[in-house]
Every structure is written in C-alpha cells, then in structure tokens.
Amino acid sequence: MGQEFAHYEIRNLVAIVTIDHPPMNALNVATKEAIGETFLELDDRRKEIRVVILRGGGEKAFAAGADIKAFLELNPETAKRRLTQSHEIYNIVENFEWPVIAAIHGFCLGGGLELALCCDIRYATDSAQFGFPEVNLSVFPGNGGTQRALYHMPLGKLRELTYTGRMIDAQEALRYGLVEKVVSDSDLMDAAMELATTIMKKGPLSVVAAKKVLNRTQDLPLADGLELESDFWAALTATEDMKEGARAFIEKRKPTYRCQ
C-alpha cells in the first residue's frame, strides 16, 4: 500500500485505521500523506465496509500535533503549500463516503485535534487530553481547527483555547461538544465497535445520504439546506433499500439491506 505511518484492517464491514508514528503519532508530512493514502485505498474498497474507526497506535496519543522541527524550515510560500496539502488530506477524511468514528486516547492536540474534528463522531477515554497549543509556538491552528471546531463548541470557548493554548480533559471536551462520549481506557475500542455495529445495521444508502447532507449544509442558508435535504431524501425513494425498510417495519421483521 505504500503507507509507513498508517495502516488498516477490515473486520466485519468495519475498517480500523491506525496512525502509526510512535511514540506520539506526530503528524508530519509523511504521516498525513499515509493517512490520506489509506483513506483513498479504502475508498476503492468501500463496498467492503460500512464504517471506519480512526485511532492512534501506541499508548500515548491519538495524535499529538505537528512535527515541530519542520517549522524551522518554513517560509510563507512553503507553509501555504503545506497547509493546502493538509486541507486536501483532511477533506478526504471528512468527506469519506461512510461514517468515520475517532477513537481517541492520550494526547489529541493541535493537528491531531483538527484531524479528529474531520471525523463524524468522536469517542474518547477519560484520560484523553485535548487542546490547541499552537499559540505557544507563536502560530495558531491552521489545519482547519478555527473553522471545524466552531461546528461543535461556542466561539468564546474556542477563543479561550486558541488564545491560551490550555489543555482540557475529556470531560471538559464532552461539555464543550468536542466529543460525543467518554469511556474508560479499556472500553474505548469496544465502545467504538458497538457504535459502528449499530450504524452498520441501518440502511446504508440512508446513512451515506445523511452524511452528505450534513456535511454540505453546514454553511448554507436554511432555504438552500432544506432544498438539498429534500433532494437527497426524495432520491432515496427510488431505492429498493427504502422499500425494504418500509416493508420490514410493516411486517415487524428486521430489514435486509443490499445497497441498491
């Protein structure tokens, strides 16, 4: 596959992607490229999966931000080029066809938190730590953090984290809306797999359509969002899965979905 810093396995329609750049899973250029390549390969195998779980390898971190040594080599031109590449990779994760669940343990900082915010749902261990520490290096979140975080937390809280570089624990992240659930360290993958299994049992075409609508309407005026929503909803009525779901409900049985 060509990935040195990321790899995946498929278990019962769930793809588990692991960031593998020990000890902190720092998101240098090669690691980000490996993540992007992994998701592109999974896109080629999308008929074999229904959900993706993204996790960090090792015991210390989901991903602890950028490779700081590389900062010394940057100038405005190279920095802009590198950020553009990061945006492209993060967009691949955010717009992946199937839902992506981030399973977060340890440190989830800077670019790591920005990557987690590209996922549809975030579960974290109670020992996880979150933050945007970039201000300590006289920069700020530049991989989408100032934009995507606003979909989950109040502007004032985002300003506080961005301006101070303060780290927060999982319970505070839960209160802010940065994560959806906090579990014990030992239960993280079980909880993520349980969620993935629940999603897998639903109509797959409806899950895909719902994700597209939710992603595309975030910044649209209400009228435009409603129009897009109704277009996708109406299109589902032409699918056999939609009719199977209705028949199964009427007949009081579990539906058998075939992605058609």
- The domain locations on the chain are 6-200, 204-250
Which is it for the CA torsion 198, 201, 206, 208, positive or negative? positive
pLDDT at 155: 96
pLDDT at 1: 42
Tens digits of residue pLDDT in 190-207: 999 999 999 999 999 999
Tokens 């989830």 belong to 108
In sequence order, what DSSP letters do the residues of 172-223 get, joined into one string?
A: HHHHHTS-SEEE-GGGHHHHHHHHHHHHHTS-HHHHHHHHHHHHHTTTS-HH
Q: What are phi and psi of 202, to 5 degrees?
A: -85, 170
Rounded distance, CA 239 to CA 247, Å? 13
pLDDT at 173: 98
pLDDT at 4: 82
Is 48 a catalytic site residue?
no
> Which of the following is catalytic: 9, 88, 114, 227?
114
Q: Residues 6 or more apart from 34 whose CB is under 8 A from it?
A: 2, 3, 4, 5, 6
Exposed, middle or buried: residue 22 (CB in 10 Å: 0-12, 13-18, 19+)? middle
CB 57 within 8 A of CB 20: yes
Q: What is the pTM of this model?
A: 0.95
Which of 216, 25, 2, 1 has the alpha carbon at shortest distance from 102?
Answer: 25
> Which of the following is catalytic: 134, 172, 229, 244?
134
User: Could you confirm whether domain 6-200 is CATH 2.60.40.10?
Assistant: no
Residues of the chain short of pLDDT 70, as ranges, are: 1-3
Rounded distance, CA 106 to CA 92, Å? 24
Is 134 a catalytic site residue?
yes
